Amino acid sequence: MAKKKSHKPDNVIARNKRASFDYHLLETFEAGVALTGWEVKSLRMGKVDLGDSYVLMKDGEAFLLGAHITPLDTASTHFVTDPTRTRKLLLHKKELARLLAALTQKGQTCVCTQLYWKGHLVKARIALAQGKKAHDKRDATKEKDWNRQKQRIIRDNVKQ
């Protein structure tokens, strides 16, 4: 038997699957995240929720709102922890300008789709997004179900 190739460990901390269901993702950016020590420890344990997170532009800077990072143990930390605090996103000036220009257009927003490790740094993948209508969501669900069904058919025919 041939050995299975060992794959690189997944460096993704958390994904926001709801974002791709609710929005058409137009363009993605990679941004650094300014975190405190207890937040990094919690991220290493995977205690983060991006469900209601979005990006807000204020005074030419980008901030991540709504990301919930659960503290590990409140007894072990010696300072006050705020799980839903506003976190600054670190982007280049050109990227900030492009985001600001796109967000001024009607119907566009910016959401965080993923948190991941890049070396020892935490990065956020943010995306310019446009809201989907209800019929678009139904079409996406149909397409997803059909692709799953195609995979089953192919898999069953190959085995026989």
pLDDT in tens, 72-86: 875 555 677 788 889
Q: Are 129 and 24 in contact (CB under 8 A)?
A: yes
Q: Look at residue 97 and give its three-state secondary structure.
A: helix
Q: How many residues does the chain have?
A: 160
The amino acid at residue 12 is: V
pLDDT, tens digit, 9 for 90 and up, residues 105-140: 888 889 999 999 999 999 999 999 888 777 777 887
Level-2 CATH architecture, domain 12-132: Beta Barrel (2.40)
φ/ψ of residue 129, rounded to 5: -140, 155
φ/ψ of residue 68, rounded to 5: -105, 110
Give 39's pLDDT tier (boundaries 50, 70, 90).
confident
CB neighbourhood size of 19 (10 A): 21
Domain boundaries, the chain: 12-132
Give 1's pLDDT tier (boundaries 50, 70, 90).
very low
pLDDT (0 to 100) of residue 78: 66
The residue-averaged pLDDT of 130-157 equals 84
